[in-house]
Amino acid sequence: MLGNRLSLLIQKKHGFSFNYTTGNVLFIGDSAIAGQGADDDGGLPINSCLSGLLKTAIVNSGKNSGYGYQSLWERSSYYLATWSANWTVVSTGGFGIGGTSLVSNVVAETISFGFTGTNINLMFACNFHPSYAGGQIDVAIDGGGAVRVDLTSTPMHTYTVTGLADTTHTIVITVAVIGINEYVMFDGWYVDNDLMVMNAGLAGSDTTQYVGSGSLLEYCFLDTLEPVLTIIGLGANDFNNSVPVSTYQTNLNAIVLKAQEHGDVILLDYMIDYSEDQRLAYREAMQAVATARGCEYVDCLLGNDSTAAIAAGYIADGHPTNTGYALMYAELEKVLFS
């Protein structure tokens, strides 16, 4: 069982308690984590994927207040905002950050949205994408005076406002200063609730993209979010991309070490579309990392026979169906609730 450094949740779910009461729970991985399963209808967010099912379980446990859900990447929260004419929804895939963002290089253009809570975290990816160096913005809350924020210096930037009244607020982000080849690139926002479930899954990703300077791991805001629990599902695309097993194990070990700087780690094994022989070496590598790093290993394989799993309706198009997700989540839940 996970070594929980926080008090257990009092509210019960079928006689069990969720092992975390505060902090961020972060999912990192490929399309199975992102929620791009066979039954994906483009919903925002997809409630049938693993993070969505965890969200529902926590809500059903009785902890409705102080709970948040944020899906990064393809389902970034910017879509809930209202923006003026000269913002463009840009696909950022292929440059290490994936998904889409709102981008503008026109002064006085605005983004506005409402939120409820005592704080707000605004996420920008200026300078991380090679085509979009950062500019400067003004941030105003509830019609108050604007605060100038410089986005030119760091690859990823999270601007945080705290100490707000615990009520509904309106925020306006305005493009203030734009230099040559500078853009404002807005990914979205989240509110620090007592407990946040955050989905940073990205379709097509493998472990090689999560190591080294400027990696996907850096973009997952680990140092900003400081997740109390990181759930990692990587390996299927390492197999697809012929990443050597030894390299996979080294990369996964480095990813776990970084995540453990902030909290607990669970490794999910769900290379579901391959035979037992094909995935055995990767599976053993993941188990070895879990043992060496002292983290939880969860088998979500949906059986060893992919042909049988497809016939049973667990897998389609190489991805879990909603039924498959439910079975995978049932295994994950065994270590999340006690």
- Residue 187 belongs to what H/E stretch? strand 182-190
Tell me the residue ranges of DSSP E strands in 63-119.
Answer: 67-71, 82-83, 88-91, 100-104, 110-117
Give the C-alpha distances (Å, rounded to integers) separating 315 from 60, 80, 323: 27, 31, 8
Q: How far apart are CA 192 and CA 130, in angstroms?
A: 30
**Is the separation of the CB atoms in 286 and 250 below 8 Å?**
no
What is the reported pLDDT for 189? 77
pTM above 0.95, yes or no: no
Place of tokens 């479930």: 197
Q: Which residues pair with 320 in a beta bridge?
A: 315
What is the reported pLDDT for 128? 58
Q: How far apart are CA 92 and CA 271, in angstroms?
A: 26
Q: How far apart are CA 101 and CA 294, in angstroms?
A: 36
Place of tokens 């035979």: 275
What does the angle CA 172 – CA 227 – CA 77 come to, to the nearest 5 degrees?
30
Instruction: Express the helix, strand and coil content of the chain in percent, nearest 5 each.
Output: 30, 30, 40
**Considering the domain 76-190, what is its CATH architecture?**
Sandwich (2.60)
- Per domain, the residue ranges of the chain are 23-66+194-336, 76-190
Q: How far apart are CA 324 and CA 34, in angstroms?
A: 14
Q: Which of 296, 300, 287 is nearest to 330 (CA)?
A: 300
Third-level CATH fold of 23-66+194-336: Rossmann fold (3.40.50)
What is the reported pLDDT for 299? 86
- Residue 136 belongs to what H/E stretch? strand 136-141
Q: Which of 72, 26, 55 is nearest to 225 (CA)?
A: 26
- pLDDT tens per residue, the chain (338 residues)? 333 322 233 232 333 455 666 677 888 888 888 776 655 544 434 567 888 788 777 766 654 333 344 444 333 455 567 888 888 877 554 333 345 678 899 999 999 988 878 888 887 877 656 666 789 999 999 999 999 999 987 666 788 899 999 888 999 999 999 998 888 988 777 776 667 777 777 778 899 999 987 677 776 767 767 888 999 999 988 988 999 999 999 999 999 999 999 889 999 887 655 666 667 888 899 999 999 999 999 988 776 666 777 788 888 777 888 888 888 888 888 888 76
Q: Which of 222, 310, 328, 229 is nearest to 269 (CA)?
A: 328
Secondary structure class of 27 (helix, strand, coil) = strand
**Is the separation of the CB atoms in 216 and 248 below 8 Å?**
no
